[in-house]
Chains A and B, each alone.
Chain A
Amino acid sequence: MTAQAESVAVPAAQAAPVAAAAPPAGRAPLWQATPLGLVLLLFFILPLIATAVVSFWDYTEYSLVPDLTLRNYREMFEGCADFSSGGCTTLRTYLSTFRLCAEVALVTVPLGFLVAYFLAFHVRGEGVRMALFLLCTAPFLTSNVIRMISWIPLLGREGAVNQALLALRVVDQPQDWLLFSEFSVVLAFIHLYTLFVVVPVFNSLMRIDRRLIEAARDAGASGWQILWHVVIPLAKPGIVIGAIFVIVLVMGDFVTIGVMGGQQIASVGKVIQVQMSYLQFPAAAAQAMVLLALVLLMIAVLTKLVDIRREL
């Protein structure tokens, strides 16, 4: 038997799709990519470079001074080596933001997986599936402001939840932690961002060959074993992409955290926004660069867990 001879063809076969996607067609592909390239250059690369440059500028109460100083970065980390007073503000802010990220991700990822699993494996009709999918986008049908204001009559001191709890005698006085608290911030994030997990996980799940599930059952796997040994490993790219979405969105947020947290919860986005409102652009830019670096680092770690290119 020439099992060896067969294997020779394998690397070529793997390389084939790549080669097929890039035919030697001269410069045409380059021109085709130009419009998007220009848009990205103008509205993404250039602003990013501007931010990076400004982060090294100096500033006074009323002016920006073009310079090459590390003052903004130094001030950001001032006193950070001293842990006796609970660390510096920057460190505490980042820790608070990370905690929010973790809390939101810990709920949205399993929840999003559950919804995607239901849609992909239990809903049979294509029409029903589409309808349910659209239902998942319901939180995005209203504006951010209205959506957040709507939480007040629900979660406020005199809100529906408190009144129900009182009526049921679960509590004897209105609960304050329901609104303008970390709880309400996390709740609002979950409400919004679960969809960002549902979509990529659903995409991953729909690509799973149903015969694999049958093959697993044929091999004696129970429902849970199929989920754990077959479905979740194959859905991992979607799960990781979803987690990246959620983490990036929460890391950069300042509106939801501000409004739902009653302006009481520290977050990096909030810090940047406050600095901008005081026209301390260089300080805000430095803060943004550090945030960017951290988020990129987190994405780098997450992508190490899974080959995302395979999924795109």
Chain B
Amino acid sequence: MKLSVATLQRPRGAVEFIGASKRFGAATALEALDLRIAAGTYCCLLGPSGCGKTTTLRLLAGHETPSDGDILLDNQNITLLPPARRGTAMMFQSYALFPHLSCLDNVAFSLRMKGVAKAERHARAMEMLRLVEMAAYAARLPAQLSGGQQQRVALARALVTNPAALLLDEPLSALDPFLRGRVRAELKRFQRELGITFVHVTHSQDEAMALADLVVLMRAGRIEQMGTPFEVFDSPRTIFAARFIGGHNVFPLEGGAVAVRTDRTRIALMGQGYPATVRGVEYMGTGFAVTLADAAGEEFIVLRETADGLAPGETVGLSWDERDLRPLAAEA
């Protein structure tokens, strides 16, 4: 795939939230958010529903105005600008393609609103469709396309305005699992080649891990933890982060909770380490997942290469290396 848009220009789309809050009546969706996203970053806003990630995206897109604070894009205050004048473009969940317009007219829509002449806007829209390899479908209506194809048209429609930041609201949730992986790789490649910032809202930690340069884990309108996927996965700072990001066992020890990765947790003999009872053993192909529980019912998972005759009901001890231990805070 060749990009006709200049690919080697300076990265664009430095985003900054400064004390941005959003309240809906008495409910606070976002609490004094401070967030800095460097230009040309693939940023994933991650969290359970209601955590404020979509509100953050909509504030940046201009579909909501913050109750407090400022939003900057490439050092320009865009807090009060209308969506189309911010330099952002949004790709909506389930794409929101105009059902009465062909792919070409969908992509050309924003140019038409600006009053660009028909020939020129069609030429530019066609160029975008070629970019996403959908030129052959230019005359089709959205209903005549598959989910993956609609996604590309939506991408072309968003990119035609040449935004500095592309905002994606759960872009992969409408796709089947097989397509999801492929489209995910494509999104990442587009982001790299265009050199602009992508802000991608998702509740799937797998998606965030695979795509993001910067993961922003949110909870109840605040940032719980942020960093590279490795930082967030390898050293979760709070109990919530460890549980949400997955792959960790949270042990309630006397000095406070700690996290140990499931693949670094070891099963020792009874009487050694943290006592737990085997609940079940699942074969995972690459190894076995042993589910255990302690006396309080807290569940743990241990990934190991052999099952070694571990049977449900057996009481064992769980241990770990000191360097794999991650002390957790209760709150961010």
Contacts and interface: CB of A to CB of B under 8 A. Distances in A.
Nearest to A221: B113
Contacts of B97: 215
A220 B114 contact: yes
A210 to B, nearest CB: 9
Contact of B83 (A14, A217, A229): A217
A233 B100 contact: yes
Nearest to B150: A6
A3 B134 contact: yes
A235 to B, nearest CB: 10
B145 interface: yes
A10 B144 contact: yes
Interface size range on A against B: 20 to 34
Interface in A163-218: 209, 211-212, 214-218
A230 interface: yes
Contacts of A9: 146
B161 interface: yes
Contacts of A60: none
B133 interface: yes
A3 B149 contact: yes
Interface string B85-121: 1000110111011111000000001101110000000
A239 to B, nearest CB: 13
Given A220-B110, A220-B114, A225-B113, A214 B96 contact: yes
Interface size range on B against A: 35 or more
A1 interface: yes
A7 interface: yes
Nearest to A209: B96
A29 B90 CA distance: 46
Given A218-B63, A218-B83, A220-B83, A14 B144 contact: yes
Nearest to B157: A219
Contacts of A219: 84, 109-110, 113, 157, 161
Contacts of A218: 61-63, 83-84, 89-90, 110
A80 interface: no
A118 B157 CA distance: 29
Main SS of chain A's interface residues? helix
Nearest to B108: A219
B129 to A, nearest CB: 11
B274 interface: no
B143 interface: yes
Contacts of A1: 133
B190 to A, nearest CB: 13
A52 interface: no
A218 B106 CA distance: 13
A255 interface: no
Interface in B52-90: 61-63, 82-85, 89-90
A10 B98 contact: no
Nearest to B152: A3
Contacts of B148: 3, 6
Nearest to A11: B144
Given A220-B110, A220-B114, A229-B112, A6 B84 contact: no
Interface of B: 61-63, 82-85, 89-90, 92-94, 96-100, 109-110, 112-114, 133-134, 136-137, 143-146, 148-149, 152, 157, 161
23 contacts: A1-B133, A3-B148, A6-B148, A7-B137, A7-B149, A10-B144, A10-B146, A212-B98, A215-B90, A215-B92, A216-B98, A216-B109, A217-B82, A218-B89, A219-B110, A219-B113, A219-B157, A219-B161, A220-B82, A220-B113, A221-B110, A225-B113, A234-B100
